Chain A
Amino acid sequence: MNVRTRSALKLGLRYAIAIAITLFFLFPIYWLFMISFKTADEIYAYPPVWWPSTLQFGSYAVLFRDGDADTVWNSLVVSGVSTVLAMFFGTICAYSLARFRTGGDHLANWIISQRMVPPIAIVFPVFLLYVWLKLVDTYAGMILLYTAFNLPYVIWMMRGYVLDIPVALEESALVDGCSRWAVIWKVVFPMCRAGLFATAIFTFVFAWNDFIFALVLTRTEVTTYTVQVTHYFGGQSNFWSKISAMSVLGTLPIFVIVGFMQRYLVRGISLGAVKG
């Protein structure tokens, strides 16, 4: 066996392993998605049906008819608005930390440490606060909480992106007579557009995928899709088609978004420790 066939064999073997691993990680997602397209008979068939004979959209029709699908809209509102707020306040704060070293390392460390507190320890006192402020089960309450929860992440990430911008650009804009605010709008924001975009996506995904905050702080008015999914859990009579269809409605948008931003993924999920 010469060197060439050996390296070809090795590559083939690595391909086989790579495909096997990928199948393992994708199969549960396939299974989840597929159940939403099955008929009830196929869902509760023994042995299980691995490939539905036809694509049924009945599960989705039920969710839209009963208004359950509105919870996806609620997720969109609270995640979207909180992302915009966190991005704006977080980025100007990050700019100040990066350029002027406002508060020094202490302030920066304090901010990132806010992110490390377990959600359950935050949500419990916040719940008591919200009962008092009448913010339980309101858009405003959820938006405020997600904004606060995501601020440390935004500040941390954007600080890194701002530090990547050459200071000379801002200085020349100042010399040209731009005000401080104009420098931020006309130089900083455009220069770290990619960073803003990537960070916003992650901020959105964190809020979108959250369960525990929504579980505690919503009742009926602003229930998010993650909480709605758990409404179908229960004993023997699992509403599997609803669990599946609701999960697909919540998961598919994330898959689409992530598909478009592979480039920024590594830096985003490693809290900026690895530049992608």
Chain B
Amino acid sequence: MAATAGRSGDRGFRYSLVAPSIVILLLIGVFPLVYLLVVSFQGITMMETDTSFHGLLNYRLLFSDARLWQSLLHTIVFTVVALPIELGLGLAMAQLFIDRLPGRQVFVALLVLPVVVSPIVAGATWSLMFDNRFGPVNEIIGWIAGKEMPLLWTVKPDLVYVAILVAEIWQWTPFMFLLLLAALSRVDRSQLEAAQIDGAGYWRTFFRIVLPAIWPVMAVAILIRGLDLFRLFDIVWALTKGGPGTMTETISIFTYVKGFQQFETSYTAAVALLIIVLLSVLVLTALRRVSLSR
């Protein structure tokens, strides 16, 4: 529309189209950030509304808060374990379904259901599954072991991570599967056939042809899931609320507890800003390598 662009009426028109969205995003996205910054320099807690300037006090506290860094560590553990497993399983499933398989549409339609379940409901579902006495998981393990196995999945320190990871991986592997299946179906068949004729083996073909072809989609999938895992809250909340103790507390749960249960308002503001800064660094690094846009 270069021919019609440049008229002043057009300019007003195009800005009036973006204006409402920008206003809403400024109100809910940017204003709170500024407010966060202001509050983080104050000393507001449950007991007092001390709005005097406290300088970098809250930020200094961040560094000595072991629970904060542990929650960050837990978040990283969940991410680096769940993400590769989801990716690997999703890819394996996509490979299974990419060749001719009558009724594939039905399988895909069913497999996608976990993805659209609310994560808090997914967490609740698995807490029913993992119940030590009335849940089917221990029942099945009991059949295999040949004796009763009343495992306390959401209480025992050595089991609780497994429980959360199983729920997380159950819900999001189909997401990876769906995206990778779509990517695989776009791989140029003639290239694969040419490679086969040249006598290239399965793995050689996969790494030389398939992987480069699906990489853009894979990268986007990793980015989306990585961001989701960094904010992990619902599933953990439903299963353990961060417990036992603070063993499975993620950074989002830590922030929630500080802000809405212990009411350390100003400190929580500093924590929230820390999260945003950490995430921005991660995303900018990732986006240098991946481009979401076509």
Where the two chains meet, the residues of A that have a C-beta atom closer than 8 Å to any C-beta of B are 11, 14-15, 17-18, 21-22, 24-29, 31-32, 35, 43-48, 50, 89-90, 92-93, 95-97, 99-100, 102-103, 107-108, 111-114, 116-122, 124-129, 144-145, 147-149, 151-152, 155-156, 160, 167, 170-171, 174, 180, 205, 208-212, 215-216, 226, 229-230, 233, 240, 243-244, 247, 250-251, 254-255, 258-259, 262, 265-266, 269-274, 276
Contact = CB atoms under 8 A, between A and B. Distances in A.
A211 B14 contact: no
Given A32-B128, A120-B275, A18 B110 contact: no
B29 A102 contact: no
Contact of B96 (A17, A212, A258): A17
A250 B280 CA distance: 33
Nearest to A211: B120
Contacts of A265: 112, 178
A43 B237 contact: no
A262 B21 contact: no
Contact of B32 (A89, A122, A144, A259): A122
Contacts of B22: 93
A149 B256 CA distance: 19
Interface in B134-174: 134-136, 139, 170, 173-174
Contacts of B279: 116-118
Instruction: For the complex of A and B, list the 10 residue pairs with the smallest distance between their C-beta atoms, beginning with the closest.
Output: A125-B32, A148-B28, A209-B118, A96-B17, A118-B231, A93-B21, A273-B220, A211-B120, A121-B272, A100-B14
A116 B284 CA distance: 11
Given A266-B178, A273-B292, A233 B238 contact: yes
Nearest to A258: B116
30 contacts: A14-B99, A15-B101, A17-B96, A18-B107, A21-B93, A25-B111, A28-B129, A44-B134, A97-B18, A102-B15, A103-B18, A108-B293, A121-B273, A124-B269, A148-B28, A149-B28, A152-B25, A180-B10, A212-B256, A230-B238, A247-B121, A247-B125, A251-B117, A255-B113, A259-B109, A265-B178, A266-B182, A270-B179, A273-B216, A274-B183
Nearest to B278: A118
Interface stretch (B33-41, B58-66, B192-200): B33-41
A243 B294 CA distance: 43
Nearest to A105: B293
B268 A124 contact: yes
B114 A270 contact: no
B224 interface: yes
B97 interface: yes
Interface string B229-261: 011011001100000000000011001100110
Given A24-B170, A148-B24, 13 more contacts: A18-B97, A18-B107, A21-B96, A31-B129, A35-B128, A119-B233, A125-B36, A127-B260, A129-B31, A209-B118, A251-B118, A271-B224, A274-B179
B182 A121 contact: no
Given A145-B28, A155-B21, A229-B120, A96 B1 contact: no
A93 B118 contact: no
B79 interface: no
Interface centre among A14, A108, A265, by most B CB within 10 Å? A265
Q: Determine the interface band of chain B, counting residues with CB < 8 A from chain A.
A: 35 or more
A89 B292 contact: no
Given A124-B255, A270-B179, A274-B182, A148 B25 contact: yes
A205 B13 CA distance: 31
Contacts of A229: 120-121, 124
Contact of B113 (A29, A119, A151, A209): A29
B128 A151 contact: no
A122 B248 CA distance: 22
A270 B283 CA distance: 17
B136 A124 contact: no
B108 interface: yes
A120 B17 contact: no
Contact of A102 (B17, B110, B135): B17
Given A32-B128, A121-B275, A129-B32, A270 B220 contact: yes
Given A120-B272, A125-B32, A145-B28, A50 B136 contact: yes
B117 A96 contact: no
